[in-house]
Amino acid sequence: MNSIELIDSFAEFKDFKNIDRPTMMRVLEDVFKTIIRKKYGSDDNFDVIVNTDKGDLEIWRTREIVDNGEVENDLEQIAIKDAVLIDEDYEIGEDCYDQMFIDDFGRRAVLAARQTLISRILDLEKDEVYKKYKDRVGDIISGEVYQVWKKEILLLDDDGNELLLPKSEQIRQDYFKKGETVRAIIKKVEFKNNNPFIILSRTDSSFLAKLLELEVPEIFDGLILIKNIVREPGEKAKVAVESYDDRIDPVGACVGVKGSRIHGIVRELKNENIDILNFTENLSLMTARALSPAKVERMNINEEDKKIDVYLKPDQVSLAIGKRGLNIKLASKMVGYEIDVYRDEDVEEVDDILLSEFSDEIEQWMIDELYKIGCDTAKNVLNLDAAELVRRTELEEENVADVMAILKAEFEDEAE
């Protein structure tokens, strides 16, 4: 096997996606110097020249030319009679440059070199992938689904590197097929068993923060600051934002005209309901905002026990609690206090009617849609305006108008 054949056999490695050419050449030099050391005990007077572009490799040995019979070290000296066989112009005292060939080392040594090279290149490849991603934790990345398993999804980035999206880091409504493009955030980069693992997440709060940064220029430019994010992935999220410029409405900027900025994020997060709140250091005001859309009457704050008792009108209690208790759960996380809600006994009770009593006049699927947003009574619905109901449910404007007309008519009949 000559040098050109040997380099050709390494062609599959010379263009590795994460390894630059100088590094590749250093690795090749090191591998062949290892062969030299094994054969001669030292590589001090050997030069290895690698040219991966031309596909050749040269090994040169340098020895001092001495008079015949005065050779004391074959590795460092050569007799003049042998030197002139290489080049007839050589003279005693000069350095003799003798080219060596791969065949001189034996086939077994060359095969061992190839295995060593494969191992070194793979290790370098793994190190480069780790270095590439370790400083990108918290960045959004897109990957193509390559394999879907029960507990995780394997994705490939633009360079073909493997990325992992565990089931625990997927939104419950996520469903991906091979070939689809998935966006997620780089949550952590680990090195296990000499292999790099890039773990992605779509449920982490920082994923929502990065999506907002991409969609809202004011956040990217630092004019609006995200103070806190709490999420129930795929269900509901609350984002507290603040602006240091009085001319900028942070909530309006994040939502966009007619929801133009937030809608794209909602779709990306599988219709996750996102509430944008104005941040304040005032705990009671922040609590009231966190419990929206419910309207708070009063509250008692126990700073020692980290508890807040909130009192609301009877028709606001279900709004404060929310579907499956999500609203109050996220509000508690937002302010860092345990929140309990109570009917305000100081407010006069108003007769109300359960939505289930309107099943003869309102289709059940419409009632179910209203249940989903925490409206289980007629006054719960009437306390919200039509636009809010359209935004938060699957009901069309005509459906909402019909429902509200039926509910209003019931109370007007009772008043008469």
Q: Are residues 345 and 363 in the same domain?
A: no
Q: Give CA–CA dist 272/179, Å, rounded.
A: 24
Determine what percent of the chain falls in helix, strand and coil, rounding each to the nearest 5: 45, 25, 30
Q: Are residues 322 and 383 in the same domain?
A: no
Amino acid letter, residue 324: R
Decide which of 131, 163, 189 is a domain's last residue: 131
Q: Are residues 313 and 396 in the same domain?
A: no
Q: Summarize pLDDT for 69-98 with one digit per residue, the tens.
A: 888 887 888 888 888 888 888 888 888 888
Q: Are residues 288 and 394 in the same domain?
A: no
Decide which of 201, 220, 249 is a domain's last residue: 201
Decide which of 299, 324, 349 is a domain's last residue: 349
Q: Are residues 379 and 360 in the same domain?
A: yes
Any domain includes 242:
no
pTM of this prediction? 0.62
Q: Are residues 124 and 167 in the same domain?
A: no
Any domain includes 25:
yes
Q: Which residues pair with 296 in a beta bridge?
A: 312
Any domain includes 180:
yes
Q: Are residues 334 and 373 in the same domain?
A: no
Any domain includes 302:
yes
For residue 275, give the nearest of 375, 285, 265 by alpha carbon.
Answer: 265
Can you give the CATH number for the domain in which 327 is found?
Answer: 3.30.300.20
Can you give the CATH number for the domain in which 13 is found?
Answer: 3.30.1480.10
Low-confidence ranges of the chain (pLDDT < 70): 1-21, 51-56, 345-351, 413-416
| H helices present in 91-223, as ranges | 107-134, 205-215, 217-220
| Burial 4-24, CB ≥16 within 10 A → b, else e | eebbeebeebbebebbeeeeb
Helix axes 364-372, 397-415, angle to 10 degrees: 90
Exposed (0-12), middle (13-18) or buried (19+): which is 229, by Cβ within 10 Å? buried
DSSP secondary structure letter of residue 348? P
Any domain includes 300:
yes
Any domain includes 239:
no
Give me the number of domains the chain comprises.
4
Amino acid letter, residue 396: E
Q: Are residues 321 and 362 in the same domain?
A: no
Q: Which residues pair with 225 in a beta bridge?
A: 242
Q: Are residues 180 and 89 in the same domain?
A: no
Any domain includes 268:
no
Range of the domain at 42: 3-131
Can you give the CATH number for the domain in which 185 is found?
Answer: 2.40.50.140
Any domain includes 151:
yes
Q: Are residues 124 and 47 in the same domain?
A: yes
- Do 276 and 241 touch, CB atoms closer than 8 A? yes
- Do 238 and 335 touch, CB atoms closer than 8 A? no
Q: Are residues 120 and 40 in the same domain?
A: yes
